[in-house]
């Protein structure tokens, strides 16, 4: 009888710890989503300077070439001008490890773009620094190209275990001329804001959606008619021609790709009739695909929310989101794309269903706790 009591108490304790951990994880993620929008950079717009005309809280490379500029800032009264290539302006920011962060800054340049592949003229570099002698655990050079008008540039990084701070490094990269920087921002990325330009509202130099890459087969166009939200959507007319974006993620997490889609393709009377891809590919450090979910769905005449999902196995560093028309005569439209990170336990379908109905989930936990208390009371009385 004593052994039976010990076994029952052990099982009750194990289940209780599991439930408590799940509730704590849900609470922690909700708190992170609320606080992650705060800008972690000090003096992000370079408005505060000391006597040597240098921006407070920023450090300058000994090679120099940096100056405070008051002509044509993005906003405010000042911006920073870089004239010497690979001369860094940097700031260290305290962060939490195992989190994703996004660096945003406005850039412009008077450097003429040469007709070559490696033409980018600026750095938005992120370095994850550990505890031991400023050891760099991870680095993203953030090579971007600034044009003659102010444009928003973004880079993401996931802080690995052991990260205590992120070093933000700005610099001109190459070319004859200068690069200007303004409104620098480093924020944590909430679990629902992993994608860049999810509504296709920001266009790049060539007229396509900024942050997205188009397959060489073409067939993609920005559309301004009959949108789900905003002012633009993306229209696909060529089957298996991908529009994709790669996102830094954490391994051993469950990710859901959500997008509103519609189509004018007539649905044929056959089993394999789905006309749309919402594909997710898990990539390792060598950019090898270690897991893929094609996310085959069907778009109808009106806007509908469709989803694809994947569990990122160990070794995953990025997820590649790929949108495409699959088959049929006509077009497929995409809008309001989201990639949402969820805890690993969300890969279990019964938990996803339970958490969709919060009142039911609370009722379920309450009933469980009552039954557990009754069981323990009976056991301890014996």
Q: Are 317 and 330 in contact, with CB atoms under 8 Å apart? A: no
pLDDT for the residue 246: 93
pLDDT for the residue 37: 62
pLDDT for the residue 327: 93
Residue 293's alpha-carbon distances to 203, 256, 259, in angstroms, are 28, 11, 15
Segment 302-330 shows an average pLDDT of: 94
pLDDT band at 8 (very low <50, low <70, confident <90, very high): low
pLDDT for the residue 113: 74
For residue 155, which of 92, 103, 211 has the smallest C-alpha distance? 103
Helix (H) or strand (E) holding 356: helix 349-356
Q: Domain spanning 213-347: which CATH class is it, in words?
A: mainly beta
CA 374 to chain centre: 45
pLDDT for the residue 359: 58
3-state SS class at 334: strand
For residue 129, which of 95, 99, 166 has the smallest C-alpha distance? 166
Tokens linked to 297: 């769905």
Residues 35-81 have pLDDT tens digits of 456 899 999 999 999 877 899 999 999 999 999 999 999 999 999 99
pLDDT for the residue 32: 47
Domain boundaries of the chain, sorted by first residue: 2-36+357-381, 59-188, 213-347
For residue 23, which of 33, 35, 11, 15 has the smallest C-alpha distance? 15
For residue 153, which of 183, 133, 176 has the smallest C-alpha distance? 183
Is it the case that residue 331 has pLDDT exceeding 80? yes
DSSP state of 239: B
Evaluate whether the domain defined by 59-188 bears CATH number 3.30.70.790.
no
Q: Are 317 and 283 in contact, with CB atoms under 8 Å apart? A: yes
Q: Kindly tell me the burial class for residue 30, based on how many C-beta atoms sit within 10 Å of its own C-beta (0-12, 13-18, 19 or more).
A: exposed
The residue with greater pLDDT, 190 or 99, is 99
pLDDT for the residue 345: 60
pLDDT for the residue 132: 83
Segment 133-157 shows an average pLDDT of: 91
Q: Are 300 and 263 in contact, with CB atoms under 8 Å apart? A: yes
Phi, psi of 177 (to 5 degrees): 140, -160
pLDDT band at 349 (very low <50, low <70, confident <90, very high): low
Residues 244-260 have pLDDT tens digits of 999 988 888 899 999 99
pLDDT band at 347 (very low <50, low <70, confident <90, very high): low
Mean pLDDT of the chain: 86
pLDDT for the residue 261: 97
Residue with tokens 């070439």: 65
Is it the case that residue 360 has pLDDT exceeding 80? no
Q: How far apart, in whole angstroms, are the C-alpha atoms of residue 64 and residue 159? A: 29
The residue with greater pLDDT, 117 or 277, is 277
Residue 303's alpha-carbon distances to 199, 233, 269, 332, in angstroms, are 14, 11, 22, 10
pLDDT for the residue 33: 46
- Furthest-apart CA atoms within the chain: distance in Å: 86
């Amino acid at each position: 009888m004593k052994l039976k009591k010990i076994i029952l108490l052990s099982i009750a304790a194990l289940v209780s710890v599991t439930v408590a951990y799940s509730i704590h994880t849900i609470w922690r993620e909700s708190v992170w989503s609320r606080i992650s929008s705060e800008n972690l950079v000090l003096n992000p717009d370079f408005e505060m300077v000391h006597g040597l005309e240098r921006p407070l809280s920023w450090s300058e490379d000994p090679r120099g070439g940096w100056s405070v500029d008051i002509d044509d800032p993005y906003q405010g009264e000042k911006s920073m001008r870089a004239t010497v290539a690979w001369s860094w302006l940097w700031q260290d920011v305290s962060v939490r490890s195992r989190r994703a962060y996004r660096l945003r800054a406005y850039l412009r340049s008077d450097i003429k773009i040469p007709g070559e592949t490696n033409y980018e003229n600026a750095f938005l570099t992120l370095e994850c620094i550990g505890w031991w002698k400023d050891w760099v655990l991870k680095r993203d050079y953030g090579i971007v190209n600034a044009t003659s008008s102010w444009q928003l540039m973004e880079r993401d990084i996931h802080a690995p275990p052991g990260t205590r701070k992120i070093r933000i490094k700005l610099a001109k990269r190459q070319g004859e001329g200068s690069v200007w920087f303004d409104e620098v921002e480093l924020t944590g990325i909430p679990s629902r804001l992993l994608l860049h330009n999810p509504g296709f509202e920001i266009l790049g130099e060539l007229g396509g959606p900024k942050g997205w890459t188009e397959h060489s087969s073409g067939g993609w166009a920005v559309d301004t008619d009959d949108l789900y939200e905003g002012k633009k959507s993306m229209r696909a007319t060529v089957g298996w021609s991908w529009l994709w974006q790669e996102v830094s993620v954490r391994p051993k997490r469950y990710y859901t790709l959500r997008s509103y889609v519609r189509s004018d393709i007539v649905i044929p009377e056959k089993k394999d009739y789905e006309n749309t891809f919402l594909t997710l590919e898990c990539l390792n450090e060598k950019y090898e695909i270690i897991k893929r979910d094609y996310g085959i769905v069907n778009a109808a005449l009106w806007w509908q929310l469709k989803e694809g999902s994947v569990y990122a196995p160990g070794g995953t560093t990025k997820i590649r989101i790929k949108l495409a028309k699959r088959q049929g005569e006509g077009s497929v439209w995409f809008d309001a794309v989201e990639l949402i990170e969820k805890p690993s336990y969300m890969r279990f379908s019964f938990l996803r269903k339970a958490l969709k109905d919060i009142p039911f989930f609370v009722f379920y936990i309450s009933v469980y706790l009552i039954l557990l208390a009754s069981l323990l009371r009976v056991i301890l009385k014996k």
